[in-house]
Structure 1
Amino acid sequence: MIDRPAYAIALSLVLVLLAAVPLEHASARSDSLPSWNDSATKAAIVEFVARVTKDGGPDYVPPAERIAVFDNDGTLWSEQPMYFQLAFAIDRIATLAKDHPEWREKQPFKGVLEGDLKAVAASGEHGLLEIVAATHAGISTEEFAGIVDSWLTSAQHPKLKRPYTALVYQPMLELLSYLRANGFKTFIVSGGGVEFMRRFAENVYGIPPEQVIGSSGVVKFDIGADGEPRLVKDAKIEFIDDGAGKPVGINRFIGRRPIFAFGNSDGDLQMLQYTAAGRGARFMGLVHHTDSDREWAYDRASHIGKLDKALDEAKSKGWAVVDMKTDWSVVFP
Structure 2
Amino acid sequence: MDVLNWSLARRTLFAAFFAVVTAFGSGVVSAEDAKRDTLPSWNDTAPKQAIVDFVSRVTKEGGADYVPPPERIAVFDNDGTLWAEQPVYFQLAFAIDRIAALAPEHPDWEKTPPFEDILKGDLKAVAASGEHGLLEIIAATHSGMTTEKFAAIVDGWLARAQHPRFHRLYTDLVYQPMLELLVYLRANGFKTFIVSGGGVEFMRSFADRVYGIPPEQVVGSSGVVKFEMPADGKPVLMKEPKVEFVDDGPGKPVGINRFIGRRPIFAFGNSDGDLQMLQWTAAGGGLRFMGLVHHTDAEREWAYDRHSAVGKLDKALDEATAKGWTVVDMKTDWNVVFPPER
Instruction: Work out the CA distance in 2 between the residues paired with 1:181 and 1:148.
Output: 30
Distance 1:125 1:319, change over 3 A: farther
Q: Percent identity?
A: 78
Instruction: Give the TM-score normalised by structure 1.
Output: 0.88
For residues 195-220 of structure 1, what are the alpha-carbon distances to aligned partners after superposition, in whole Å with 9 as ceiling and x for unaligned? Answer: 01001000000000000000111100
Instruction: Work out the CA distance in 2 between the residues paired with 1:235 and 1:28.
Output: 43
Deviation at 1:31, TM superposition (A): 2.8
Deviation at 1:96, TM superposition (A): 1.7
Are the equivalent residues in 2 in contact too, given 1:186–1:207 (CA < 8 A)?
yes
Could you tell me which of 172, 177, 193 is aligned with 1:171? Answer: 177
RMSD of aligned alpha carbons: 1.7
Q: State the partner residue of 2:120.
A: 114
Deviation at 1:32, TM superposition (A): 1.7
Residues 239-258 of structure 1 aligned to structure 2 (within 5 Å):
239-258=245-264
Matched AA of 2:81: T
For residues 260-299 of structure 1, what are the alpha-carbon distances to aligned partners after superposition, in whole Å with 9 as ceiling and x for unaligned? Answer: 0000011101100111111111100000100010011111
Aligned length, in residue pairs: 307
Structure 1, unaligned runs of 5 or more: 1-26
| Structure 1, 222-231 or 84-93: larger mean CA deviation | 222-231
Residues 126-141 of structure 1 aligned to structure 2 (within 5 Å):
127-141=133-147
Q: State the partner residue of 1:46.
A: 52
Instruction: Work out the CA distance in 2 between the residues paired with 1:316 and 1:118.
Output: 37
Q: State the partner residue of 2:216.
A: 210
Instruction: Work out the CA distance in 2 between the residues paired with 1:28 and 1:320.
Output: 22
For the pair 1:56 / 2:62, whether they are aligned, the reply is yes
Are the equivalent residues in 1 in contact too, given 2:35–2:187 (CA < 8 A)?
no
Q: State the partner residue of 2:5.
A: none
Instruction: Work out the CA distance in 2 between the residues paired with 1:190 and 1:139.
Output: 23
Matched AA of 1:43: Q
Distance 1:29 1:94, change over 3 A: closer
Are the equivalent residues in 2 in contact too, given 1:263–1:287 (CA < 8 A)?
yes
Residues 1-333 of structure 1 aligned to structure 2 (within 5 Å):
30-124=36-130, 127-333=133-339
For residues 198-255 of structure 1, what are the alpha-carbon distances to aligned partners after superposition, in whole Å with 9 as ceiling and x for unaligned? Answer: 0100000000000000011110011224331111110111111111111110000000
Is the partner of 1:284 in helix, strand or coil? Answer: strand
Are the equivalent residues in 1 in contact too, given 2:292–2:328 (CA < 8 A)?
yes
Pick 1 or 2: higher relative contact order, CA cutoff 8 A, min separation 6.
2
Matched AA of 1:151: W
Are the equivalent residues in 2 in contact too, given 1:133–1:217 (CA < 8 A)?
no
Larger Rg belongs to: 1
| Structure 1, 189-198 or 89-98: larger mean CA deviation | 89-98
Distance 1:285 1:125, change over 3 A: farther
Instruction: Work out the CA distance in 1 between the residues paired with 2:35 and 2:239.
Output: 49
